[in-house]
């Protein structure tokens, strides 16, 4: 009986681990292609910061793609990048060293990666080699993913993007040109990566656990009958 309890506990743990584990993968790595002309821009006015591609909000810029769906594409592969994020959270810091959270909005890399973020954090840091920065969003929802990316995550490549795929968006910034010194107003160049993870639906967790429990119940019943 003791061995049955041990087996039951181990199987339940394994079931929950399988049901709750996420299939995580880096789905896109990119760098800015036209570093002489294209920019990303931040403007801060009246307590609101807008952070977007282009000199005008949401204008597409071209990025080089070095990884998509776990595969290295041919040299010179590009996608149009667009994003438009806004935050009304408090800005902390001074001079060129700023931090602001609460960014939300939408982004796209052509038709390959489309989604939205909430709670993104934008930071800038001025050091001896100039100003650098980043935007990190750990709460990403995807609405569209390309065939290679879906296949990488274990879905049919020609099917629709299923619900329950989350991830992170990390954008690094360099080549700052302050628009207003000492404020969060600048143009810069960007590069970064996008990660995705498949989040199991609650029903999947329950069904996986029930199947293990039911199987163990049958096993225990057979043992009980054999001992009678």
pLDDT tens profile 158-213: 989 998 899 999 999 999 998 877 678 899 999 999 999 986 544 333 333 333 33
Query: 3-state class of 228 per DSSP?
Result: coil
Question: Which residue, among 8, 3, 2, 6, has the nearest Cα to 218 in the 3D structure?
Answer: 8
**What is the pLDDT averaged over residues 209-228?**
41
Strand partners, 106: 84, 116
pLDDT digits (tens, 9 = 90+) for 38-94: 999 999 888 899 999 998 887 999 999 999 999 999 999 999 999 999 999 999 987
- pLDDT: is 9 or 26 the higher one? 26
CB-based contacts of 2: which residues, under 8 Å, 6+ apart? none
pLDDT confidence band for 228 (50 / 70 / 90): low
Separation between Cα atoms, residue 82 and residue 62, nearest integer Å: 9
- pLDDT: is 160 or 18 the higher one? 160
pLDDT confidence band for 6 (50 / 70 / 90): very low
Spacing of C-alpha 113 from chain mean position: 10
pLDDT confidence band for 95 (50 / 70 / 90): low
CA pseudo-torsion sign 66, 71, 72, 76: negative
């Amino acid at each position: 009986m003791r061995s049955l309890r041990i087996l039951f506990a181990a199987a339940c743990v394994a079931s929950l681990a399988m049901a709750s584990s996420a299939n995580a993968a880096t789905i896109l790595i990119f760098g800015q292609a036209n570093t002489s002309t294209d920019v990303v821009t931040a403007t801060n006015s009246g307590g609101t910061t807008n952070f977007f591609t282009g000199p005008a909000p949401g204008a597409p810029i071209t990025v080089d793609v070095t990884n998509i769906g776990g595969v290295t594409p041919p040299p010179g592969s590009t996608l149009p990048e667009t994003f438009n994020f806004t935050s009304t959270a408090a800005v902390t810091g001074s001079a060129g060293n700023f931090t602001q959270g609460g960014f939300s909005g939408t982004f796209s890399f052509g038709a390959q990666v489309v989604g939205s973020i909430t709670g993104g954090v934008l930071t800038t840091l001025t050091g001896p080699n100039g100003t650098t920065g980043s935007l990190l969003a750990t709460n990403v929802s995807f609405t569209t993913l390309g065939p290679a990316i879906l296949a990488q995550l274990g879905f049919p490549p020609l099917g629709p993007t299923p619900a329950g795929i989350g991830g992170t968006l990390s954008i690094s910034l360099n080549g700052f040109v302050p628009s207003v010194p000492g404020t969060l107003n600048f143009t810069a160049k960007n590069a970064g990566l996008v990660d995705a993870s498949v989040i199991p639906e609650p029903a999947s967790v329950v069904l996986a656990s029930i199947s293990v429990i039911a199987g163990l119940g049958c096993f225990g019943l057979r043992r009980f009958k054999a001992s009678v």
